[in-house]
């Protein structure tokens, strides 16, 4: 869907923030296969409005939006619409982002890179701060639900080069973190965190333009 | 479980906040049957720590805790433990609290009482303000999940007098809203909002009394 521009590589275990204008599209690609991209969106200039997983579920009466459906903000407005999904369509809206406490509970000693600190630092690089810490959209994460409500994190099904493409329904800042999890199966059966690529293009650039917008962010 | 003290009646469509000390128990009763109690908990004195549905799911690897399990805070610490549940055990952690926008989307014209405004006003009566608006625990709410991820709000199964009893694992303010929803099936097939009763007692008050607290409300 999003062609003609150079994607920005998000290095393994780090995050980047992108200014995305209404109508522009963000393509989130997993270049090396099974890897989760924790994703947040905050409206600009008023960051008090942001993508909310619980409002998305309430507005859609679904666990996860499909192609043509939107993620909703905490003000129940569409904020990002899924315009294309070349992956198997497994994305998690149930689990919190990893933080230092998550790794400590998993037995890790000392500091561990994590998506919450990544969110904060990516916004800080743009001179922004999140007014709240919303639950993320865990792009490419596969979480199965048992009949008794038990949750199982399984290796992502996404293959190298598969992508999720989102259209911004308002001006916003998009934050994408290449999740650094290396203990449980979040990033594959090899437990190896990998990079994520992101391209931001305008709708009229989505066929053929060579303008590299992501490098200016 | 919780005997010997007078419950507080939360009038239909309103909310109340309760200071609950570590070790005390809160019994949430539905005196008239199918009715949802939107419930939040914020640590005292630092309200920046609060009950988080997404951290609860992540810490337990479950959609909803059962008896003997805890709800977790956004710092991954147990904040409230379920010590008894005389209801069928259906409680929702997926859906956002109702707000004015929810009723507008459902076709209601003008202002409608809602759990978000109830949360704010209940805290304000205690001189407090929520630093964030966490997703609520919708006590007694029945939400079924289809095989394709579709969510269905169904009438609560709770019968008159059934209850959920929670033990505070830290000092906290508990907010309980008797959900005013009268359009969809949240509060029963009659779509009639009803009151909720709440009792707060210390652990050493919870054995031996024969007073039937729920009948006094």
pLDDT tens for B58-103 read: 999 999 999 999 999 999 999 999 999 999 999 999 999 999 999 9
> Residue A192 pLDDT > 90, yes or no?
yes
The complex's ipTM works out to 0.92
Long-range CB contact pairs, A123-127, < 8 A, 24+:
A123/A17, A123/A42, A123/A173, A123/A175, A125/A17, A126/A17, A126/A19, A126/A173, A126/A217
Which of A57, A105, A131 comes nearest B94 by C-beta? A57
> Residue B2 pLDDT > 70, yes or no?
no
* Per-residue pLDDT tens digits for A95-146: 999 999 999 999 999 999 999 999 999 999 999 999 999 999 999 999 999 9
Q: What percent of chain A has pLDDT over 70?
A: 91
The answer to whether the Cβ–Cβ distance between B96 and A62 falls below 8 Å is: no
**Half-sphere exposure (Cβ direction) of B205: Cα atoms closer than 13 Å:** 17
Closest-CA residue in chain A for B91? A149
Rounded mean pLDDT, B149-156: 98
The residues, any chain, with a CB within 8 Å of residue A143's CB and separated by 6 or more, are A90, A92, A94, A95, A151, A152, A153, A154
Rounded mean pLDDT, A173-181: 98
> Residue A211 pLDDT > 90, yes or no?
no
Strands A151-154 and B8-10: unpaired
Q: Does B107 lie at the interface with A, CB-CB under 8 angstroms?
A: no
Query: What's the confidence (pLDDT) of residue A213?
Result: 34
Query: What's the confidence (pLDDT) of residue B203?
Result: 77
**Cα–Cα distance, B20 to A147 (Å, whole number):** 34
The answer to whether the Cβ–Cβ distance between A58 and B95 falls below 8 Å is: yes
Rounded mean pLDDT, A87-102: 98
Chain B residues whose beta carbon lies within 8 Å of the beta carbon of residue A90: none
Query: What's the confidence (pLDDT) of residue B161?
Result: 98
> Residue A176 pLDDT > 60, yes or no?
yes
Written in H, E and C, the secondary structure of A149-173 is CEEEEECCCCCCCEEEEEEECCCEE
Chain B residues whose beta carbon lies within 8 Å of the beta carbon of residue A61: 150-153
Distance from CA of B96 to the nearest CA of A (A): 5
Q: Does A190 lie at the interface with B, CB-CB under 8 angstroms?
A: no
Which of A101, A131, A149 comes nearest B75 by C-beta? A101
> Residue B40 pLDDT > 70, yes or no?
yes
């Amino acid at each position: 869907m999003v062609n003609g521009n150079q994607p920005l590589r998000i290095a393994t275990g780090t995050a980047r923030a992108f200014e995305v204008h209404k109508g522009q599209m963000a393509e989130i690609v997993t270049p090396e296969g099974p890897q989760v991209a924790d994703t947040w969106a905050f409206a600009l200039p008023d960051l008090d409005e942001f993508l909310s997983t619980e409002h998305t579920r309430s507005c859609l009466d679904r666990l996860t939006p499909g192609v043509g459906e939107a993620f909703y903000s905490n003000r129940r407005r569409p904020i990002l619409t899924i315009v294309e999904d070349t992956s198997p369509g497994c994305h998690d809206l149930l689990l919190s982002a990893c933080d230092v406490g998550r790794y400590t509970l998993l037995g890790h000693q000392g500091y561990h890179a994590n998506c919450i600190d990544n969110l904060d630092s990516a916004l800080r690089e743009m001179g922004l701060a999140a007014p709240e810490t919303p639950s993320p959209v865990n792009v490419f994460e596969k979480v199965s639900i048992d009949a008794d409500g038990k949750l199982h994190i399984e290796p992502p099904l996404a293959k190298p080069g598969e992508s999720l493409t989102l259209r911004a329904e308002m001006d916003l800042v998009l934050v994408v973190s290449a999740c650094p999890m290396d203990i449980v199966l979040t990033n594959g059966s090899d437990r190896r965190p990998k990079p994520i690529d992101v391209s931001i293009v305008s709708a009229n650039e989505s066929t053929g333009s060579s303008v590299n917008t992501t490098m200016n962010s």
